[in-house]
A and B are shown apart, each in its own frame.
Chain A
Amino acid sequence: MWVPVAISDHVTADKPLGVSVGDQGLVLFRDKSSRICVLEDRCPHRRVPLSLGKIIDGNLRCAYHGWTFEGHGGQCVKIPNLAASERLSPKLRADAFIPYEKNGFVYLLTASSSTERDVSVKLTPPDLLIMNPDLAGAQQQSGRAVISCSVDTYLRALLDGPHLLLSLGGVCITDFFLGDVMRKTHELQLDRTAIWSHKAKPHERKWGVSTLVMRTEVYQDQSSARVQLLDVGERPLVNILLAVVAGKRNTVQINWRCSWLKNYAAIAPWFVRWRISGGHCPLQLNDKIDGSALADLLPGPSVHLLKNDSLKVDVHKKKEPKRVCSTPPTATEESRI
Chain B
Amino acid sequence: MSEVVSLAKAGNIARTQRQKDNWTPMVFDLHDTWFPIAHSTHVGAKPVRRALHAQPVYVWREGAKALAAECLPEALKSAATPKSAFTCGTGIYPTVEQYGYVWVWYGNPDNKDVTLLPHIPFLPKDGVGIPNYMRTSVRFDGNSSLSVENLLDLTHADFLHGEVIGGEGEAESDEISFEYTSETLTRVRHVVGKPVSPVMRWLGGVRAKYQEFRSTLHVHLRSNVCISYPRFRPGFDIPNMQTFVPSGPFRSRVDQTFSLGAAPTPFRQLMPRMAYVVGPQDNFVVRPQNPCYMNSDDRADQNSRFDAPGVRYRFLMRKLWERQQAGDYSYLADADPGQDISALLGMDK
Chain A residues at the B interface, C-beta cutoff of 8 Å: 1, 21-22, 24, 26, 40, 42, 44-49, 52, 61, 63-67, 73-74, 76, 79-83, 86, 91-93, 95-98, 108-112, 117, 120-121
Contact = CB atoms under 8 A, between A and B. Distances in A.
A308 B16 CA distance: 34
A80 B154 CA distance: 12
Contact of A42 (B4, B292, B306): B292
A115 B25 CA distance: 37
Given A65-B159, A66-B156, A82-B305, 6 more contacts: A46-B149, A47-B301, A52-B285, A67-B304, A110-B2, A117-B9
Interface residues of A, dominant DSSP: loop
A47 B7 CA distance: 19
A52 B288 contact: yes
Interface string B257-298: 000000000000000000000000000110011001100000
20 contacts: A21-B3, A22-B1, A42-B292, A45-B301, A47-B293, A47-B301, A48-B285, A48-B288, A63-B160, A64-B160, A64-B285, A66-B155, A80-B168, A97-B6, A98-B7, A98-B10, A109-B5, A109-B10, A112-B1, A117-B10
Contact of B171 (A81, A110, A121): A81
Contacts of B2: 1, 22, 110-112
Contact of A91 (B16, B289, B293): B16
Nearest to A94: B302
Interface residues of B, number: 40
B160 A97 contact: no
Given A47-B301, A81-B171, A93 B16 contact: yes
Interface in B118-163: 149, 153, 155-156, 158-160
Among B153, B156, B173, max chain A CB count under 10 A is at B156
A92 B1 contact: no
Nearest to B292: A47
A42 B21 CA distance: 15
A81 B174 contact: yes
Given A63-B284, A65-B156, A66-B159, A111 B304 contact: no
Contacts of B6: 40, 95-98
Given A47-B289, A47-B292, A63-B285, A81 B169 contact: yes
Contacts of A52: 284-285, 288
Contact of A45 (B4, B8, B12, B302): B302
A80 B284 contact: no
Contacts of B149: 46
Contact of B10 (A83, A112, A121): A121
A97 B158 CA distance: 30
B303 interface: yes
B22 to A, nearest CB: 14
A243 B51 CA distance: 46
Interface of B: 1-10, 12-13, 16, 149, 153, 155-156, 158-160, 168-169, 171, 173-174, 191, 284-285, 288-289, 292-293, 299, 301-307
Contact of B169 (A49, A74, A80): A80
Contacts of B171: 81
7 tightest A-B CB contacts, nearest first: A80-B169, A47-B292, A81-B174, A110-B2, A109-B5, A112-B2, A44-B302
A36 to B, nearest CB: 14
A110 B173 contact: no
Nearest to A1: B2
A23 to B, nearest CB: 9
Contact of B5 (A63, A82, A92, A98): A98
B288 A111 contact: no
B3 to A, nearest CB: 6
A120 B4 CA distance: 12
Contact of A110 (B5, B168, B293, B304): B5
Nearest to B290: A47
A45 B169 CA distance: 17
B194 to A, nearest CB: 9
B84 to A, nearest CB: 34
B155 A65 contact: yes
Contacts of A95: 6-8
A82 B171 CA distance: 9
Contact of A26 (B1, B4, B302, B306): B4
Given A45-B302, A48-B288, A65-B155, A112 B3 contact: yes
A322 B44 CA distance: 93
A13 to B, nearest CB: 19
Contacts of B191: 81
Contact of B288 (A49, A83, A117): A49
Contacts of A64: 156, 159-160, 285, 289
B4 A109 contact: yes
A79 B301 contact: no
Among A24, A65, A83, max chain B CB count under 10 A is at A65
A63 B160 CA distance: 7
A73 to B, nearest CB: 6
B54 to A, nearest CB: 24
Contacts of B13: 73-74, 93, 96
A44 B293 CA distance: 13
A4 to B, nearest CB: 13
A235 B256 CA distance: 69
A93 B2 CA distance: 24
Contact of B304 (A21, A24, A48, A79): A79
A176 B169 CA distance: 64
B16 A63 contact: no
Contacts of B155: 65-66, 80-81
A49 B287 CA distance: 10
A79 B13 CA distance: 21
A184 to B, nearest CB: 24
Contacts of A97: 4-7
